[in-house]
Amino acid sequence: MKRSLTDYPLAGKRVLVRVDFNVPLEGGRVVDDTRIRAALPTIAYLLDQGCSVVLAAHLGRPKGQIVDDLRMAPVAVRLAELLGRPVKTAADCVGPAVEKAAAALAPGDVLLLENLRFHAEETANDGVFAKRLAGLAEVYVNDAFGSAHRAHASTEGVTHYLPSVAGLLMIRELEILGRLLRDPARPFVVVLGGLKVSDKIGVIEKMLGTADAILVGGAMANAFLAAKGYGIGLSKGDGDQVAVAAEVLAAAGKTRCELVLPRDVVVAREALAGAPASVVPAEAIAADEMALDIGPETAAEFVRHVRTAGTIYWNGPLGLFELDHFSAGTKTVGEAIAASASVTVAGGGDTVAAARRFGLEARMTHVSTGGGASMEFLEGRALPGVEALMDRGSTAAAGRRPLIAGNWKMYKTRPQTSEFFAGFAPAVAGVHDRDILICPPAIDLETALAATAGAAIVIGAQTMHFAAEGAFTGEIAPQMLRELGVPYVILGHSERRQYYAENDADLARKVRAALDTGLRPVLCCGETLEDREAGRTADKVGGQLDAGLGEVGVAELALVAIAYEPIWAIGTGVTATPEMAQETVSFVRRRVRERFGDAADGVRILYGGSVKAGNIDVLMSQPDIDGVLVGGASLDAQEFARIVRFVETPA
């Protein structure tokens, strides 16, 4: 496992980040910002750490020449809009002027370099060029998974001169795609489409030994039909592709993997919008026709496989989806994949375009930005940009930084919020060895942020929805919080589970959405008095943890805090002793360790049961309690200040 930016000391450093901003432009504007959005969590994390950020990327294929239409300026404009802060630009990516601009950056500043590929030295992995890039920063972060299969100066060469770690997108790609190869939930179904069998032969060969079924559509299916002796008329997929397909058919016969080919296809004489089309059996394509989509019988069979799958990997459209006449197969199967409760991963530019056209993208577990890098990774090949990063040893923490959090629930107006911080901020001034978090009602967030500007107090939200947008009355989207400047969000609080029927499945989606947006979730868990008396604590709390952390990768775990709430000791008259609290918090850490190994030792676990100034010292003396989630006592500025200070750490 490669070292991530979350387990490397970055606070206040100048960081060079390789990002994948190779986005389409039209009329000097970005027309698809997917790849820019994918980099936001890493950029946001670095900004939260007080870093200055130098971004390096390529755009198009200028082949070592300056091409005005491929300048990064339009990307900087869109990035600034998404970040909600200015993005500085440079006229080049190396040289004295760029070095001066990088050196002048203050914490929180973002500088986007000019197109790396204006220099031929970039793709040649020139050592001098790589060293000049490295000279712009103190640490290197690679978040450009889409370029990780290239040994270029900005992906491999620079790692020889700087401490080098993976960004959040890079780690997520490696973990999700790696899971497909290591231990996919079964049945593991692979859906392949696109143009050429030869383009995906490496993946097909690998998946024949890994997947339970491979469903083949698109133009590449024609080569398989021809290899079986069927006429394919004017269809694409003839020539050398047929020999490659024949080899795959022979290899598939020696494995347990089921290779599923089309039974029927949609044919036409021309690949044009409005061209007369019909459905014919796969073996009955006329000499003057071409297959342009899978037929309804094939689509139904593919859907049956998808519905029973535990894991689905989709790469390539199943027809000429850009034309409505020939889009039904891709849309039908894509909708079934998106509706599946299994792990769903989509990869490849055309696949992403199809998923976006049919509104499926947000419903996938993961949409890879990798393209060729994804294919090579799934073939089992080493990626130079990944191999060059530092390996990670144990992430066990020598000492976890305390987190003292206050949850105001539905208390305090905006004037009362201002009044609270007027008294609280001076009372905790000078406290720098622990994190202070306050989560007011949503209506008070802007007031709280303004009142704490410049103070060592962090403002968080009490909940959020998992969707980016939609008809969810009264809800708050993750990006809305991010744009406000809110870095933390409480998820799964016992009151929301009780009164709003929040369930584990939705909370898992919320945790994932928070991390994807650059927010740090505080995941709550706890059991009732009935659960405790019946001996169900381990099952209840363990089940909540397993579900809530189900889509969290090892490298992301440090971004998540866990709050144990003994619901049985809140308002019941039953007292939870510090020893009882430690017992269950210790169980929480053991449960997390079962899934994440030593990374569990770096997770902050809070206690959230009737915390007061009178019991904070003894609670914080417990070995596994790293902080507290305070309710009513956080509403009083002086009382909460005493809780925050608990035992003062000697200077």
Q: Are 446 and 484 in contact (CB under 8 A)?
A: yes
In order, the DSSP letters of 98-133 are HHHHHHTPPTT-EEEPPPGGGSHHHHTT-HHHHHHH
Beta-ladder partners of 139: 15
Q: Which of 289, 301, 551, 565 is catalytic?
A: 565
Q: What burial class does residue 401 get, using C-beta atoms within 10 Å of its C-beta: 0-12 exposed, 13-18 middle, 19+ buried?
A: exposed
570: which 2 tokens? Answer: 């809140």
The H or E element that residue 482 is part of is helix 478-484
Q: Which of 58, 152, 325, 493 is catalytic?
A: 493
The rounded distance, in Å, linking the Cα atoms of 88 and 101 is 9
The rounded distance, in Å, linking the Cα atoms of 23 and 355 is 17
Q: Are 236 and 252 in contact (CB under 8 A)?
A: no
284: which 2 tokens? Answer: 């009955």
Count Cβ atoms below 10 Å from residue 477 Cβ, excluding itself. Answer: 18
Residue carrying the six token digits 């905006």: 414
C-alpha closest to that of 265 among 243, 285, 288:
285
Q: Are 152 and 119 in contact (CB under 8 A)?
A: no
DSSP category for residue 575: P
* Residue 512 vs residues 180, 317, 398, 585, 593: alpha-carbon distances, Å: 18, 27, 27, 23, 19
493 is catalytic: yes
DSSP category for residue 402: P
366 is catalytic: no
Instruction: Point out the residues that are catalytic.
Output: 493, 565
